[in-house]
């Protein structure tokens, strides 16, 4: 049996490797605190679970769903979108349901790139942009996200030769792993760039509702002209603590939505309708759970920033996402620092290189453990490292 060339290039998924490390340390009796994986630790709000309980009993939901999603679900998305971003979407032609946004993000490459085409991916970035491009036979071009440029790609630095061959550009704000956010000014430049080079912009908005200090992230689709060049990926995973349910959607450019829907109708059979019902309850129900979640992460963010700054870091609190992205101290690489922290403090942090070459020199902390455990993790790091230098 010989795997194909694309699979030969594919490493095990980052978190599969981290989970293995956690398992090994736990087998040795270490009380590991994992700040590695960005999976919300709190349960799905009860009103969403209750809707699922009812929906699961309805035999109509036991049959194959459609890949595009129930019209009722897409209508709930459209109404939430209008309310949240002031953008009107046609539920019939501009929205498609997804088995979690990861599914759509991976599959969009199969819809728009041919072997030899370029896909513009942020580096550091959520690994699936790169992986989708590789699997579809495209050549990923890494757009560096640097602290100097507020972790936004410098569009003017993308070589013309690459831009001309590019079919897709992936963006993600609030950003995983850097916690950076984007404004309308930046998105306007992206629209211009995409128009000029005829590129489909794929904005990953998985953290659209997780922002702090009163900041409200905008949708890429709010910017004039964005709908002619862009599709946006949304997820219920982080907003409503529903990572295990597998539901999200893509919306925006109707041609792109149509192509993705056609692709999906050939490879999957849609989201379990009872889960879509739960999604409707999430989008149409009370939103105070979302506000409580934001406050929770903001408190945890402050604990981490304060704890790290006490040790010698000089970090600004990130404006969004559920991550803190920080440089490693002098004398370490991302990998050697993450290893040291695991060995000396029993704490898992993610080496920045897991998100691409430009993640070297950084590590990521996920804010998905309770405050007392976070405090303990930071105390252990403090005891193990003392004051750090850069
Ligand atoms: C930036 C980003 N996009 C997309 C996803 C995928 O979310 P889901 O497939 O659960 O909707 C994640 C999950 O961690 C993420 O960090």
Q: What is the pLDDT of residues 187-221, one digit of tens each?
A: 999 999 999 999 999 999 999 999 999 999 999 99
Say what the pLDDT of residue 141 is.
Answer: 98
User: Which whole number is the average pLDDT over 105-122?
Assistant: 97
At residue 200, the pLDDT reads 98
Compute the average pLDDT of residues 105-131. Answer: 97
Structure-token pair, residue 103? 């599914």
> Span 320-334, mean pLDDT?
97
Asked if residue 14 has pLDDT above 80, the reply is no
pLDDT score of 78 more than 90: yes
* Confidence class for position 70, pLDDT limits 50, 70, 90: very high
What is the per-residue pLDDT for 354? 92
Strands 362-366 and 323-327: antiparallel
173 lines ligand 1 (CB under 6 A): no
Residue 21: the pLDDT is 79
CA–centroid distance, 235 to ligand 1, in Å, is: 7
Report pLDDT for 6: 83
How many CB atoms are closer than 10 A to CB 16? 9
pLDDT at 15 over 90: no
* Residue 100 Cβ contacting ligand 1 at under 6 Å: yes
pLDDT in tens, 25-51: 888 888 999 999 899 999 999 999 999
> What pLDDT is attached to residue 153?
98
278 alpha carbon to ligand 1 midpoint, in Å? 19
pLDDT at residue number 22:
82
Residue 26 or residue 119, greater confidence: 119
Which atom of ligand 1 has the smallest separation from the CA of 38? 14
pLDDT at residue 10, as a whole number? 81
Output the DSSP codes for 260-298.
HHHHHHHH-----HHHHHHHHHHHHS--HHHHHHHHHHH
Eight-state DSSP code of residue 320: B
DSSP string, 7-31: HHTPPPPHHHHHHHHHHHHHHTT--
Strand partners, 230: 201
Q: CA angle at residue 172 from 93 to 258, to 5 degrees?
A: 20
pLDDT of res. 23? 87
Looking at ligand 1, which residue's alpha carbon is closest to its atom 5?
Answer: 102
4 CB-side CA count, 13 A: 5
User: If you measure from the C-alpha of residue 179 to the centroid of ligand 1, how many angstroms do you get, rounded to a whole number?
Assistant: 14
């Amino acid at each position: 049996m010989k795997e194909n060339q694309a699979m030969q290039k594919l490493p095990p998924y980052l978190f599969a490797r981290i989970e293995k490390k956690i398992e090994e340390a736990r087998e040795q009796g270490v009380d590991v605190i994992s700040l590695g994986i960005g999976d919300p630790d709190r349960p799905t709000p009860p009103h969403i679970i209750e809707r699922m309980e009812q929906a699961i009993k309805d035999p109509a939901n036991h049959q194959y769903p459609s890949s595009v999603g129930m019209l009722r679900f897409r209508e709930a998305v459209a109404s939430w979108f209008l309310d949240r971003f002031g953008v009107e979407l046609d539920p019939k032609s501009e929205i498609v349901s997804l088995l979690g946004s990861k599914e759509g993000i991976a599959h969009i490459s199969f819809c728009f790139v041919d072997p030899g085409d370029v896909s513009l991916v942020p580096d550091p970035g959520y690994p699936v942009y790169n992986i989708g491009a590789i699997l579809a036979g495209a050549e990923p071009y890494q757009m560096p996200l640097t602290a100097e440029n507020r972790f936004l790609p410098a569009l003017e630095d993308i070589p013309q030769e690459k831009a001309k061959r590019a079919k897709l550009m992936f963006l993600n704000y609030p950003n995983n792993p850097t916690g950076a956010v984007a404004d309308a000014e930046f998105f306007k430049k992206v629209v211009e760039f995409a128009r000029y080079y005829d590129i489909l912009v794929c904005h990953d908005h998985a953290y659209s509702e997780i922002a702090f200090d009163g900041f409200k992230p905008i949708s890429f689709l709010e910017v004039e002209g964005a709908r002619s060049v862009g599709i946006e990926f949304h997820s219920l995973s982080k907003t409503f603590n529903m990572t295990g349910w597998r539901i999200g959607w893509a919306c925006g450019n109707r041609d792109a939505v149509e192509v993705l829907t056609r692709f999906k109708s050939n490879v999957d059979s849609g989201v379990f309708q009872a889960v879509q019902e739960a999604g409707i309850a999430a989008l149409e129900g009370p939103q105070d759970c979302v506000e409580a979640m934001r406050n929770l992460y903001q408190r945890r963010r402050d604990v981490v920033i304060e704890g790290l700054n006490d040790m010698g870091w000089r970090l600004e609190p990130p404006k969004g996402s559920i991550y803190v992205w920080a440089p490693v101290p002098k004398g370490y690489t991302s990998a050697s620092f993450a290893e040291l922290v695991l060995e000396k403090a029993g704490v898992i942090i993610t080496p920045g290189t897991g998100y691409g070459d430009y993640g070297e020199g950084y590590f990521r902390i996920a804010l998905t453990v309770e405050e007392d455990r976070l405090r303990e993790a930071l105390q252990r790091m403090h005891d193990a490292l003392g004051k750090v230098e850069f």
